[in-house]
Structure 1
């Protein structure tokens, strides 16, 4: 079945107010920026955003006032600092947070992907995170029935909609991701709906002669959006590097305050992601340099 839509069509059809959004990408790598921009353009609010390292896309959603809760392993851009809009929202109590370890989040997605109510782990034992997760009702301390040792049972988490960015896709929804996938495969398998933006979308059957290249098969994908540079300013392995200047500019505004971020969002999103790219890199020189830098690395 043909699953190719525009970002506007996909978000308008499948991302509705109040849903739980599973966020793909990690830190400054392969974040679904084009899809998140479209959520902001359509002002879809009341969102709960879940993932391992919720980075730049989360902060933009929070700055736009669209998030009420997050459940995550971390919320930062590592060497570029914390997520300032998200941190301020937490401090003033305008959103709530469910702190996890990365493994706990990945385990919750894995449980849902397997159709199980929970999965056991020992990694949370003895941590403050465990007490908070127990209080939130997403973890239970138990005992291994075979060995009698303590374990933690983490509750399955199935997002209403998952947003990820990939290297390639075909119109049937078969997805190819080069490099690290982190929690994304299990998150997509667990999600009720998945929207994938991709650098390139090929005709149906394009991967039939090399099925081992498919990272996520079409059965788990609801909609595909073709968007070159759809992760900009974050990187896509084998395609382009991250744009440090863009990330630093955003973080400098984030330190200044929420008003500055909202002004930047209003001035730079445009009517589409192609508009955004033209506003930020009109002659394409920055994108060209990011492609060349990635070629030098791989």
Structure 2
């Protein structure tokens, strides 16, 4: 079956997060993560993966950020393939880095461009994609040694090119601004690798700030970033990227991100206790938000801050 055909044969389902994750995320899956650094990360969906203790995951993406560190802290990751793992000014992913250094998880380093190219190959149904960005790097030396890349000659110019394997996640998680009930997704702002990653994936779960009626974008088709043909499930979850940002909706909440980073930097016990107290102790993401921001003042402030930036 060609890549993408599965989605074309099914209709997107509007589901609660718990049901969507239970249905489409399986132990041992290759899990693609959307978002970029501190922007539009699929936090609500990752919370649910942690609650359900779905493990043995291989996590793939360009810059894997806060969601990855949560999954590693929960002991659910065996391997990552990524361009980087960091939270911009807040530093590296400390839990992930310690796990890599201790050989508790395997890691395969790529450049951002080569990872994006791997998703492009998968989206096009190709086994590999030629790139030049890795040439001359130690990253390429390791990929070649481990049979994850091949250096060959351009058949026309004779110049060297690198062939990187296609990446086709079993399931990808992204968060977006909105979707209609048919699964057509609108992302405002930067999309990074997500469109090709979605098209390359067997299943896709999209959490959104709001679900609109079917046909809501019929008179504005240019707004649709991802066709519902590629989406397995839509989850309506306001604030579903919190504490990261969603363009036009709310800014990132620095105290929460900085607070987690300080805990993670100190050692592995802190992140495990953090997840137990802020994720696993609550039945869903709404309960987590109510417990961590009971009067909604933080969310109101970040929504207002985003309005001032527009």
Return the TM-score normalized by structure 1.
0.99
Over the residues paired in the alignment, what is the CA RMSD in angstroms? 0.7
Equivalent residue number for residue 82 of structure 1: 92
Equivalent residue number for residue 261 of structure 2: 251
Measure, in 2, the Cα distance between the counterparts of 1:2 and 1:32.
18
Measure, in 2, the Cα distance between the counterparts of 1:133 and 1:188.
24
Show structure 2 runs of 5+ residues with no match: 1-10
Q: Equivalent of 1:110, from 109, 112, 120?
A: 120
Q: 1:264 aligns to what SS in structure 2?
A: helix
Deviations 1:109-130 (A, max 9, x none): 0001011111111111100011
User: How many residue pairs get matched?
Assistant: 298
**2:167 matched to 1:157?**
yes
* 1:258 to partner: Cα distance: 1.2
More deviation, 161-170/250-259: 250-259
* 1:135 to partner: Cα distance: 2.4
Show structure 1 runs of 5+ residues with no match: none
Q: 2:27 aligns to what SS in structure 1?
A: coil
* 1:2 to partner: Cα distance: 5.5
Counterpart contact for 2:152–2:161, Cα < 8 Å: yes
Counterpart contact for 1:98–1:136, Cα < 8 Å: no
Q: 2:82 aligns to what SS in structure 1?
A: strand
Equivalent residue number for residue 294 of structure 1: 306
Measure, in 2, the Cα distance between the counterparts of 1:58 and 1:254.
12
Equivalent residue number for residue 174 of structure 1: 184
Measure, in 2, the Cα distance between the counterparts of 1:177 and 1:73.
22
**2:25 matched to 1:24?**
no
Equivalent residue number for residue 290 of structure 2: 278
Counterpart contact for 1:166–1:175, Cα < 8 Å: yes
**2:221 matched to 1:226?**
no
Return the TM-score normalized by structure 2.
0.95
Equivalent residue number for residue 69 of structure 1: 79
Counterpart contact for 2:119–2:200, Cα < 8 Å: yes
Q: 2:14 aligns to what SS in structure 1?
A: coil
